[in-house]
Structure 1
Amino acid sequence: MKPLSVIIVSWNTREMLEECLRSLYEQPTRVPFVTYVVDNASVDGSSEMVRNLFPQVELVENEENVGFAKANNQILRQVVTPYALLLNSDTIIPKSDVFGPWIDFMEKHPECAASGCRLTFPDGSQQVGDAGYRPSLKTVLCHALFFSRLFPEKCKGIFLTGIPKRDGEIDVDWVCGAAMMVRMSIVRRVGYMDEGFFMFAEDIEWGCRMKEAGYRVCYLPWITIVHLQGVSSGKQKIQGFSSLWLRNVRKIFERYNPGVPGRMCDVLMGLGLFLRALLYFVAGEKYRNKARRMFHYFEDIIFRKV
C-alpha cells in the first residue's frame, strides 16, 4: 500500500499547477504516493492540462468553487493511506527526496498529528506564516509589537519567527496548509478541516484543534519547499495577510479566548498593521506598495470592513 496521498486543490492556477506536478514527479523520492488534484471549477484549462500531461493523477472536478477546506475534505474522507499531504498548487518540490525524511519523522513520532516544513520564496528567503501559535492576547500582542521577532525565544507570536538553524523539530500550534502532512488515524479522531472557513486560516484552526486534543503539531526546519504564495488569491496576500485571513483569525481568537472580545484582536492586529505600514513607508519608494496594502488591511480591520 502506498503510504502517502498528496492532495492539491487548484483554482485557475494552470501554469503553476503544471510546474507543481512536474516537480512532484521529478522528485527522486523513495516514498510511493498517489496524487489527487481537486479542481474548484477553474476556467483556465487546468483540468484538461492534468488529464493530458499527468494521466497518473486522480482528478476531481467540482462544478463550483467550494473553497480550500471543503475541497481537501473531499479527498481526506476517502483516502486509505496512513498519511496525507496537503500541497498548494503554487509550490515547487526541490530535486531531492523530500517525502522520505518527512515520513521517517512521522513514523518515529506517532504522537504527532500534523507537521509542516520551511516554506521559502524562489530566492531562498523564508516566508512568514509557515507555522505559528494559537491566537491569544499574548501572541497577537507579541506579533503586533515585533516582540516575537526581537525576542523569539521568550515571546511567541502568531507566526513562528527567529527560527534557529537546527536539525530537531519545533513544537508549534499550527503549520501552513500550503505543505502540511497529517496522520490520518488522528484526523479521523479530531475531525476534518472546518468547512466554515472558505479560504485562509483553516490550517490555524485545524492545528489548534489537534493540539487541544492532546497531539503534537511539529515544524520541520530541515525540510524545504518553495512556495510562490498568493496565486489563487490573485496575490492578495503579503507575508501571510489578507482581509479574509484577518477575519478568520479573529474567529479563531474568539473561539479559544472566551470572555475576551474579538475586538481586542482587531485592535492589536490593527496596531501591528499600522506600524508595518509606517515602517514600509519610511523605508522608501521600493516598499510603498507594501505600505499601502498594510494600511488597507489596517483600515479594513479597524473600521470593521472585514
Structure 2
Amino acid sequence: MDLITFIIVTWNNQQQIRQCLQTIMKYTLVPYRIIVVDNHSSDETVQIIQKEFSTVDLIISPDNVGFAKANNLALWQVNSEYVCFINPDIILTEDIINPSIHVLKEKQDVGLVSCKLRNLDSSLQPSCFHFADAYSLVAEILHIGKIFPQFLCKKYFMNFYNAKTDFYPQWVIGAEMVMRTQEAKDIGGFSTEYYMYTEDMDLCKKIDCILNKKIYYLANISLIHLGGASEVQNFNYNKQEKLIKNDLLFIKKFYGENEVHKVLRNMNRAYNFRLNLLNLFYYRNDKNLQIDKTKKVIDIIKEIRDGYCSR
C-alpha cells in the first residue's frame, strides 16, 4: 500500500512537469502515488503526462477551478497515510519524504512539515513567514528585517531568517507541504474562498486553530522551486491587488473586521513612508520604477479602503 500521495496542480506547465515528475520518482524511496489535477491547460501538459507517465493518476478539469479547489479534488481520493502537496515547478534533489514523515511520526504536535526552498542557482528562497496582521505586513513592506540580526529575524521577521537548524515558523509557502492525510481532510483541505494566493497561509492557520498543531521547517533538507511559472502566464491577473485583498480576507476571517481597518491604515502609512524613503535616499537605476510601483500600490489600497468605508 502507498505510504504517501503527491498532489500536483498544473496549469500550462509543459516546461516544468516532466522534470518535476521525474525527480519525484527518482528520489522518493517509499511506496507512493502521484495525482495530477490539470486546471484546463491549453498547452501540452496533459499530453506529456498521458504519454510519458502512465502510472500517474490524471484528473482533467474542464475549467480552471483555482489552486485550492483543484488540490481538494485530489485530496478526497487519497487513501495513503500521508499526503504531499507539491507544485509542478519543483525539482527534487534529494529524498524529502522520509525526513518529513519521520518528523510527523516523532512529533505529534506538528501538523505540517516543509523543506527549504532554493532557487535554481541554489540560493535561499524565502518561504517562512508570520501570519498577516497589522504589524507583520508593515515589516514586509518596509523590509525591516534587513537591518536586524538573525536571532531577531527568527522571532519577528521570518522572511529574512536563513535557518541553519529546524524550527517552527507560523506559515510556509505552499510549494511543498507534507501532512497526515486524515488531518488534511479534518480541516477541509485548502480554503476555496481564495482562488489564487494566500491558500497556504490559511491552511497553516487552520492547522494552528483547528488542530492546535504547529508547522515544522526542515532547514537542511531542500528542493528547487522555479517559482511563478503559472503566475507569469496570467497577464490579466493583478497580483499585487489580489495579494492585498486575500490578506484582508484572511485577516477578516481569523481576526475580525476591526483588524482589517487597522491593517489598511497601517499599510497606507507604510507605503507612503516607503515612497518618501525612495524619493530621498534611493539612487539605483530602477528608482523611477520603484516609485511608480509604490504609487500604484498606494492607489490600490486607497481604492480598497474606499470600498470598505462605503459599506
Range of TM-score over shorter length: 0.7 to 0.9
State the SS of the aligned residue for 2:29.
coil
Give distance in 2, aligned partners of 1:51 and 1:6.
Answer: 17
* More deviation, 46-55/152-161: 152-161
**CA 107–301 in structure 1, closer or farther in 2 if over 3 Å, else same:** same
Is residue 2:184 matched to residue 1:187?
yes
In the alignment, what sits opposite 2:95? 97
Aligned length: 298
How far does residue 34 in structure 1 lie from its aligned partner after superposition?
0.8
Match for 1:231 among 229, 232, 254? 229
Give distance in 2, aligned partners of 1:159 and 1:6.
Answer: 27
User: What does the per-residue CA deviation read over 1:162-203, in whole Å, with 9 as the maximum and x for residues that have no partner?
Assistant: 23312xx31122221111112122223222211111110011
State the SS of the aligned residue for 2:160.
coil
Asked whether the 8 Å contact 1:7–1:37 carries over to 2, the reply is yes
State the SS of the aligned residue for 1:260.
helix
State the SS of the aligned residue for 2:136.
helix
The amino acid of 1:12's aligned partner reads N
**CA 82–8 in structure 1, closer or farther in 2 if over 3 Å, else same:** same
Is residue 2:240 matched to residue 1:242?
yes
The amino acid of 1:198's aligned partner reads Y
In the alignment, what sits opposite 1:25? 25
Asked whether the 8 Å contact 1:121–1:228 carries over to 2, the reply is yes
In the alignment, what sits opposite 1:55? 54
In the alignment, what sits opposite 2:253? 255
How far does residue 287 in structure 1 lie from its aligned partner after superposition?
7.5
How far does residue 14 in structure 1 lie from its aligned partner after superposition?
0.9
Give distance in 2, aligned partners of 1:294 and 1:91.
Answer: 31
User: What does the per-residue CA deviation read over 1:7-34, in whole Å, with 9 as the maximum and x for residues that have no partner?
Assistant: 110111111112211222232x322211
Q: TM-score, normalised by structure 1?
A: 0.86
The amino acid of 1:284's aligned partner reads R
Give distance in 1, aligned partners of 2:143 and 2:52.
Answer: 46
Larger helix proportion of the pair: 2
Aligned ranges 1:248-287 → 2 under 5 Å: 248-258=246-256, 260-272=258-270, 282=282, 284-285=284-285
In the alignment, what sits opposite 2:68? 69
Asked whether the 8 Å contact 2:142–2:274 carries over to 1, the reply is no
The amino acid of 1:6's aligned partner reads F
Give distance in 1, aligned partners of 2:274 and 2:52.
Answer: 43
The amino acid of 2:138's aligned partner reads L
**CA 271–259 in structure 1, closer or farther in 2 if over 3 Å, else same:** same
**CA 62–275 in structure 1, closer or farther in 2 if over 3 Å, else same:** farther
In the alignment, what sits opposite 2:132? 135
Asked whether the 8 Å contact 2:7–2:36 carries over to 1, the reply is yes
In the alignment, what sits opposite 2:160? 161
Query: Considering only aligned residues, what root-mean-square deviation do their CA atoms show, in Å?
Result: 2.8
**CA 261–100 in structure 1, closer or farther in 2 if over 3 Å, else same:** closer
**CA 8–287 in structure 1, closer or farther in 2 if over 3 Å, else same:** farther
Give distance in 1, aligned partners of 2:56 and 2:283.
Answer: 46
State the SS of the aligned residue for 2:121.
coil
**CA 220–193 in structure 1, closer or farther in 2 if over 3 Å, else same:** same
Match for 1:115 among 113, 116, 119? 113
Asked whether the 8 Å contact 2:113–2:217 carries over to 1, the reply is yes
* More deviation, 270-279/141-150: 270-279
Asked whether the 8 Å contact 1:115–1:175 carries over to 2, the reply is no
Question: Which protein is bigger by CA-based radius of gyration?
Answer: 2
Match for 1:172 among 150, 163, 169? 169
State the SS of the aligned residue for 1:71.
helix
**CA 274–63 in structure 1, closer or farther in 2 if over 3 Å, else same:** farther
State the SS of the aligned residue for 2:256.
coil
